Copies of this chain bind each other. A is one copy, B any other.
Amino acid sequence: MRVSYDEMYGVVMEKLEKYGVTGDVAVGCAQNLVENTQYGVASHGINRFPRLIEMLKNGSVKPDAKPVRVGSLGAMEQWDGNLGMGNTNAAFCMDRAVELAKELGIGCVALRHTNHWQRAGAFGARAAKAGCIGICWTNTMPNMPAWGAKDRHIGNNPLVMCVPYQDDYVMIDGAMAQFSYGAIDSAALSGRELPVPGGYDEQGNVTRNPAEIKKTWRVLPIGFWKGSGFAILLDMMAASLSGGMSVCEIGKQGATPTDEYNLSQVFIAIQVTDKAANDETVRRIIADIKSSNPVEPGLEVLYPGERALAAYHESKQRGIRVEEAVWQTVLAL
């Protein structure tokens, strides 16, 4: 089914207020959740909203907490999220990194004691819309084995890189696991094989069968040892720079793997001084990629983020796509 922006925003606002979220935090949170869904990322938009309400109810997310600066070194600042709303904390910190970048060329904000930011790419996009290159990442629950291990001690730690381009941007928003738990669950439910190997079965063989992977949750890092290494470094940098929790500590504080709270994040913005030159560079790179010989005749080679932008424009025209069952669950919150 499809729902208009105004309708989805209205319902989300009503539910947020019902559970104690008010003012700027409610507005920012609702805008973020609805926009993520507009961009075709319902998994980190409306589909996650019931889980956010659950976390508001169980006290993991504090509805009235605001981020507070705890350290400043010029272009680099440390903030404490006070366990407040993850997506508004993150938006605030990327905006602060942009302010620093406007003044000093580059800005970095490390944020501790924050919560799940929903769609990682939203904050890269935020930097780009303000005329900056945006880089950001978060740590997570231990949800992936380190390379050489069977059990989960590292996070999939999503990493975003975003470059402004014309009125929009080019962006990669990717976790260090080949597939999210949601993607594996959803493939298992519909009986589909994954398009590429996503983890291991109980015999220790790499497999595309999501039901087999669900028996082990031994998911594959992107690039095997490489994604494992990048994930570990992203966690070390986030925990060290923010003074907050590392992946292993996040894992120890919760009783179940869904208790993902009290995270550490880093936001970097870099000023693009000559927007026209930047756009021309990006345009040439896109044109060159699109001149590639596609794997099948007639297929278009897409640039990173192109599919999400197309989904956004479709949502604007035709309403936001949402699964009926999800929407009914949201209405009943």
Show the binding face of A for B, using Cβ within 8 Å: 71-77, 101, 103-108, 133, 145-151, 153-154, 159, 161-163, 170-172, 174, 178, 196, 204, 221-224, 226-230, 232-237, 239-241, 243, 246-249, 268, 270-274, 277-278, 281-282, 284-285, 288-289, 291-295, 299-304
Q: A241-B270, A282-B236 are in contact. Are A178 and B293 (CB under 8 A)?
A: no
Cβ of A295 and Cβ of B108 under 8 Å apart? no
Assembled-state Cα–Cα distance A241/B271 (Å) = 9
**Shortest distance in angstroms between A112's beta carbon and chain B's nearest beta carbon?**
11
Which listed residue (B104, B106, B239) contacts A285, Cβ 8 A? B239
A153 with B223, Cβ < 8 A, contacts A74-B105, A233-B304 known: no
Assembly of this chain: how many copies? Answer: 2
Residues of B within 8 A of A196 (CB): 224
- Chain B, Cβ-Cβ closest to A173: B229
Evaluate contact between A281 and B108: CB separation under 8 angstroms. no
B292 A239 Cβ-Cβ under 8 A = no
Verify B75–A104 contact, CB threshold 8 A.
yes
CA distance A234 to B230 in the complex (A): 15
A133, B240: Cβ atoms under 8 Å? yes
Contact status A289-B154, CB under 8 Å: yes
Chain B residues within an 8 Å CB radius of A277: 240, 243
Q: Give the contacting residue for A222; candidates B149, B170, B226, B233; CB below 8 A.
A: B226
Q: Kindly provide the distance from the CB of A249 to the nearest chain B CB, expressed in whole angstroms.
A: 7
Residue among A151, A227, A285 with the most chain B CB within 10 A? A285
Main secondary structure of the interface of A (DSSP, over half): mixed
Which of the listed residues A222, A233, A294 has the most CB atoms from chain B within 10 Å of its own CB? A233
Q: Is the CB of B304 within 8 A of A153?
A: no
Q: Are A285 and B232 in contact (CB under 8 A)?
A: yes
Find chain B residues with CB under 8 A from A304 CB.
228-229, 232-233
Give Cα distance in the complex from A222 to B229, angstroms.
Answer: 12
> Once the chains bind, are B226 and A172 in contact (CB under 8 Å)?
yes
A240 and B170 alpha carbons, distance in the complex (Å): 13
Task: Report how far A75 CA is from B271 CA in the complex, Å.
Answer: 11
In the complex, the answer to whether A153 meets B292 with C-beta atoms within 8 Å is yes
Assess whether A148 is in contact with B294, with CB atoms less than 8 Å apart: yes
Cα A246 to Cα B302 in complex, Å, equals: 18
B248/A285 in contact, CB under 8 A: yes
Pick from B236, B271, B284: contact of A163, CB below 8 A. B236
Q: Contacts A75-B75, A246-B284, A247-B285 known; list 16 others, CB within 8 Å.
A: A73-B104, A73-B106, A74-B103, A75-B106, A148-B292, A149-B294, A161-B233, A163-B236, A172-B229, A172-B230, A172-B232, A204-B295, A223-B227, A240-B272, A240-B281, A243-B277
Contact between A295 and B149, CB atoms less than 8 A apart:
yes
CB neighbours (8 Å) of A284 from chain B are 246, 248-249
Q: Tell me the bound Cα distance from A282 to B204 in angstroms.
A: 29
Pair A73/B273 contact, Cβ less than 8 Å: yes
Contact in complex: A285, B223 (CB < 8 Å): no
Q: Are A171 and B233 in contact (CB under 8 A)?
A: yes
Q: What separation, in Å, do the CA atoms of A226 and B237 have in the docked complex?
A: 21
Question: Complex Cα distance A106/B299, Å?
Answer: 43
- CA separation between A138 and B328, bound complex, in Å? 49
